[in-house]
Structure formats: structure tokens, C-alpha cells
Structure 1
Amino acid sequence: MNRDMSYSKFSLDITICIVIILGFLGCTKVTEPITTNLSEITGTENTQTSIKSEVYHRPIILPTIADVVRTVEPGVVSISVDILSRGIFYDFTDEGSGTGMIVRPDGYIVTNYHVIQDARDIEVGLSNGSHYSAEIVGLDLLSDLAVIKIGADKLPTVVFTEADDIRTGDWVATIGNALGLKGGPTVTLGIISGLGRTIRTERGDLYDMIQTDAAINKGNSGGPLIDMDGKVIGINTAVYGGAQGVGFAVSSGVAKPIINSLIKKGKVIRPLIGLSGMTNTTELSDRFDLGTSEGILITQVAPEKPAYNAGLKAGDIITSLDDQETDDMAEFLTVLWSYTVGETVKVDYISDREPQSTIVTLVERPSP
């Protein structure tokens, strides 16, 4: 009897030890939710169903964030601006802050348009503690991007990745001069929570934006959104008011040609078609009896502009440009802005429920 009790006690002790060890191992390894493969299910009425399952534990492996940050941090700068504001009785100087990225070793820095808009003085702080005055090279309101320059060379630069390499759910980090706090940049971690977003700002609509839940605070504007290789996938731009964990960045695919144009020409030259429109939807189609829920619904045509001269009018629905489908405004503008001033474009559209086609010659869009 004593032997049986000792054996039971010994078995219980072994079981407890195993549970403790397994519990410890489970707490020290980050895993994805368990995936169950119902490879064999058998059962009959009034009998217990047996389920044979295979359980996979797939670890989520992240690089050390500090190492990732260290690769890009030398190319990230803080920006302080003095803005002259005009009051009713007197003028006064206001201060602002933001972030930028060095894109060329000879001192060219990209940031947000709204960071340096109306700035009287711009000061740039480098990661090594040195400070420089900066001058504006070019501004682009439509993308909320700007390029400034400091008098320095042999500077460390950031590296942009290709837009096609990013996916919803990928890990990302932000680096920036959050809230203008002293003592170095602020780093936050999150994921890409959406792609191809369109957001409305005080300066107009921004298209093809990256959405992230990594915290983007005031002062982060103009800083990098980076992947786990330390490459820039976007330029932090906006926080969605009234929502937590929703921030946006201009994708690298959109930003790179704009940055190059600002450096070379001081502005972005875009073609003008001369119309306003909106993405067609089922609701719009039903409400106005359009006969289709696809394409771009023209809401206004500017007199004596290319669209007007080609015979397009309000109420027409554009379905493609040079046989490239335009299902929403983001696609429409992406295709349109891929052309140069003076080029001709075949526009397929629906007018009074009848398919039509016309040729439009694009002109230069005036700077805003």
C-alpha cells in the first residue's frame, strides 16, 4: 500500500514538473495563433466524434528594433521652423517642428509641405548634434512633400524600398522628432494596416497612402516609415483625427519621382485634363440612374480646357485612359500623371448610357 502511494506521489511530482517546464517554455516564445488541421474526422450517431489534429507553432521572428533603427537613424533629421503669423494689430512669430530625411549626401532633405509651409527660418538638426540653416528647394502641395537643402556634404542618407515589396500586415517602425521633444528621436513600432488609402486633408485629397497603426505624433511628420531591413517604405504625413492607431504615410513609389522632380526643377510638372470627378459607386448609379457603377463620374468640366475641347461634360463616366481601366480616382490620377504635358490620351467614357471615345491633348497643370 505504501509503495502504491509513493509511486502515485512520484508520478504526480513528475507531472507537475513537466507542466511547469512546458508553461515556462510557452511563456518565453512568441507564437502565432495555433493552426489546427482537421485531417481526420470520424463519428457515428450516439458515439463520440474523434478529431485527429496537427498543431503547428510558428514563431514570429523580429529583428532587434534597436539594430534596425541604428541603420537608418543617421539619415533622419529634426526640423525646427519659425513662422511669421499676421495678427489684427501686430505680427508675431510662431514655432513648429517636424522631421526630415537626407536623400542625397550633398544636403538635400525631404520633409512634408505642411512642416515648412510659410516658414521664415528653418533649422535642421543632424544625428551627430550639428545644426544647419536650410533653404527651400521645392514644394508640392498635392503630395504634401517638400525638399530643403543644407550647406553640408558627405552626409549619410536613407534608402528607399520598392513600393511593390510591402504588404498589409508587415511590421514597420517610425522614427521622428515627436512633439519636438529633446534628447533624440522617438521610435514607435506597428504594422501596415492598409494600402492604397485615400484621405482628405485641409490641403486636399492624398491618394495611394499607406495606413499604419504605428504611432505618428505631431513632429513625426516628414519622417520615415521603415521596414525591418531599415529601408524607407513611406514618408509619415498624417494622423486621422478622432481615431487611435490610424496614421498615414506617402508611399515610396509615389514619393521618389516627386522628390527627384523637386530637386531638379523646384516643382512637380503634372498634366492637366481639366475636369473634376469622383469614384462612381452603386449608390451613385442608383440615385442618378447612371446605368453603371464603374469608372469616374465627371462632376465638372472647366471651360476651354482639354476635357471641354474634347467634348466631355458633367455626368459622363470615364472608364479608361488609353485602355487602362480607371475604377477609382486614385487609379485615374495615377494613370493621368504618368503622362507628360503635350501628350494625347484616348479617353473611353459613357455618355447618356452610350459608350464613347475621344482624344484629349494634355496641358500643364498650374502650380497651386
Structure 2
Amino acid sequence: MFEERKRGGFFKIFITALITSLGVGIVMLYAGMLLAQRYLTTPGSPQIEQDINNLPAPQQIAVEVPAASESVVAAVAKTATPGVVGVSVLKVDSNSIYERNTAENWNIGSGVIVTSDGYILTNHHVAGGKNKRIVISLIDGRNIDGTTVWSDPVLDLAIVKIDQKDLPTIKLGDSDNVQVGETAIAIGNPLGLQFQRTVTSGIISALNRTIEIDNNYMEDLIQTDASINPGNSGGPLLNSKGEVIGINTVKVTSAEAIGFAVPINVAKPILAQLIENGEFNEPYMGIFAYDREAITYMDNNYKLDSGIYVVQVDKAGPAYKSGIKEGCIITSVDGRKMDTMMDLRCYIYSKKPGDIINVTHLSKGKTETVQIRLAAKIKDGLVTR
């Protein structure tokens, strides 16, 4: 009896436990299905379409580009190239005073058309000095004879004139605003007229550089890593706006990617007078000076913080007569600070012979201001006006 109850009770307990386990399992399974549905399955189709439609299209997140897809260099090359010319100069080398043994050589360089009526800026070593003929090669294939109307061997600049009208020109920029690291573009004829108007690009590497050439110093040059070769001489160095900021002049042959250009601002007052009067009467002060970078070439122990150091004075010139001597440090002219010889040239060239300037200089620790009446520099001497 007791044994039957025990068996019956065990059976009931077993059935109850089984039913309870099944119930808990069903509940857990249902809960798991709910969780899975909530967290593991993807949303319905309407939700998917809505999310895709809300995503920005590729055009909306891409960087906006101009309608013309040209790069800066390509755009500058397109607009500036017509204003670049080839400059072929026939020079005669004589071995005797009677010129019995002469050799004729064609030198090839580049130039920049700066006025529509034919003023062309180039280098002195391209178009300066004695020559027999100058031929300007235009982009339309014409070859026009030209004449050198001004040249300066110290600046290595020259201006050639051709008798033409409606020529394509290149706008002149402001070399005082050039910054290291900005884009630099050179156009010229690196291997002569066979490869006319070759375009190279780089950056402005440095400013106010001084280099020594044949025991002479060229000061305040723009240094660039844009490729410059001999045939590029006289061609333009351009900024990203397509403006001329310099005239390419020389390359360091012992190193790659080191070229130099003469800042364009020094040529502006010269061009202005040529355009206005048909000639440039160069105002003459009668000194030559070095800035603080150039002075280290002569004496590493001498330090110049500001101003320009006078190294040569023409004793027949106006500066000497007013008391400027070798060793003086010119600090300002007419209240304008002077830290480079290029600063002084740009200001003096904006004057006319006969104009009076006030020069402040330091001599033997004493500051003094003197008045100088500028002379006119001509080939055979000086004429004071």
C-alpha cells in the first residue's frame, strides 16, 4: 500500500516537473524568438528604401570642382604661353681689331611680351651688348627683327622692341608679395627653338638670394625649383594667377632644381618710362651696395642687421659729392626703409635725373641725412640735370 502511494506520488511529481519544464522551455523559446526578431533580423523593405534615399549621393559629398577641370599650371600655361617669345641673337666674335677673323654665333633665349605694341623683356646676357641681329619668334610662327632699347648687365635685364601691334601680353605681378612655398611656373625655350615654350612648375624656394657669377654678385633674386635651363633665360616666372613675378636668369649647374629669377618690380619703372617717353633716362646715384645676405660673401665676420652697405662709390657721381663714402650704411631714402639693393634700385628708377632725394645713412656710428641730386647716366659719362 505504502509502496503504491510512493510510486503514484513519484509519477505525479515527474509529470508535474515535465509539464513545468516544457512550459518554461516554451516561454524561453518564445522570448528568444522575440529577441531575435528585435535584434537580429533586418528592418522591412520600406525602412530600407527610406534609409537609402536619405544617404547623400556621391556628388553631394565630393569636393566641388570648377566647370573647367584644368589644373592651375595648365590654366596658366594656356593663358600665358602666347606672350612668350623666342629670342635669337646673332653675335659676332672677333679675334682682331680689324675683324679679319670673325665667327658668327646664334644665341637662343626667351622673352616676355609686356606691351601689345612690342616691348619685350628678356635678359642682358641674351640680348644685351654688341650684336648683329635680333630675331623675335612669335607664337603664330612669324619671325620679326627687333632692337635692344635698354640693357643692364648688373641686373641682367634687357628690353627689346619690335614694330608690331595687337600682340598678346602677360600681366605683370608684384614681386614684393611673393611668398616662399607658393606655386611657380616657368615658360621658355630650354633647348632652343626646337622645344619652344616648354612649361615647368614648382614652388618659390627662397627670396632675396645672392649668387656669385664671374666674381660679381647678383642680389635679391627669387629662387625656385621649377626647372630652368639656359634657353629659359629671359622667360617669365609666373605665379598661380598667371602674372609675371620674375624674369628667369640663371641656374646653378652644380645642383638640380635650383634656378633664379630677377624680381619683376625693378623693371616696372623702366618700362613705364619707355612706354611714356620712348626711352629710359636712367637716374644715377653713383653707388653700389650689398645687403646683409650679400655681405657674408665678402666677410663672414661682418654682421649687418638692416640697411645696405656701400662698397663702391663713383667719385664723379652725386652721392660722393654729398658725403656718401665707402663703408656707409644707407638705412632709408625719403623716409622709405632700404634693406636691399633692389629696394634702392626700384625707388631710384621711379625718379628722374635732376630729382632730389634725402638719404639717411650711418657712418662711423653717426646717423646723418643728406640731399642728393640724381644725375643722368649715359653711355659716355654723366650729365647732371
Please state how far the C-alpha of 1:343 moved relative to its aligned partner: 2.6
Cα distance in 1 for residues equivalent to 2:333 and 2:149: 33
2:198 aligned with 1:186, yes or no? yes
Selected match of 1:121 from 112, 127, 133: 133
Give secondary structure in 1 for the equivalent of 2:226: coil
Unaligned regions of 5+ residues in structure 2, if any? 1-61, 63-68, 381-385
Q: Check 1:323–1:286 CA distance in 2 against 1; reply closer, same or farther (3 A cut).
A: farther
RMSD: 3.3
Of 99, 122, 130, 2:110 maps to 99
1:74-223 matched pairs, under 5 angstroms: 74-88=82-96, 90-117=101-128, 118-202=130-214, 205-223=217-235
**Separation (CA, whole Å) in 2 of partners of 1:94 and 1:286:** 41
Deviation at 1:85, TM superposition (A): 1.0
CA distance in 2, matches of 1:273, 1:297: 15
Q: Which is helix-richer, 1 or 2?
A: 2
Measured after TM superposition, the shift of residue 211 of structure 1 is 1.2
Partner SS state of residue 231, structure 2:
coil
Structure 1 unaligned runs (5+)? 1-28, 30-60
Give the whole-Å Cα distance in 2 for the aligned partners of 1:293 and 1:225.
Answer: 30
Specify the alignment match of 1:43 in structure 2: none
- Secondary structure of the residue aligned to 2:332 is strand
Match of 2:364 among 341, 345, 352: 352
Q: Given the superposition, is the C-alpha separation of residues 355 and 126 from structure 1 closer, same or farther in structure 2, using an over 3 Å criterion?
A: closer
Name the amino acid aligned to 2:89. Answer: V
Q: Which has the larger radius of gyration?
A: 2
CA deviation string 1:316-352 (max 9, x = no partner): 4333333333344344444444443223333333333
State the TM-score, normalizing by the size of structure 2: 0.68
Q: Is the 8 A contact 2:151 2:158 kept in 1?
A: yes
Are 1:319 and 1:326, in contact at CA under 8 Å, matched by a contact in 2?
A: yes
Q: Which amino acid aligns with 2:101?
A: Y
CA distance in 1, matches of 2:343, 2:282: 15
Q: Distance in 2 between matches of 1:262 and 1:97?
A: 25
- Which one of 329, 332, 336 corresponds to residue 317 of structure 1? 329
The one-character-per-residue Cα deviations of 1:266-293 (angstroms, maximum 9, x if unpaired) are 65433333334444699899968x9x85
- Percent identity over paired residues: 36
Deviations 1:131-182 (A, max 9, x none): 2222333333343222223343222222222334432111121111112151
> Where does 1:62-81 land on structure 2 (aligned, <5 Å)?
63=71, 65-81=73-89
Q: Which amino acid aligns with 2:82?
A: P
Paired residues, number: 307
User: Alpha carbons of 1:192 and 1:121: their partners in 2 closer, same or farther (altered >3 Å)?
Assistant: same
Flag the 1:308–1:168 CA change in 2: closer, same or farther, 3 A: same
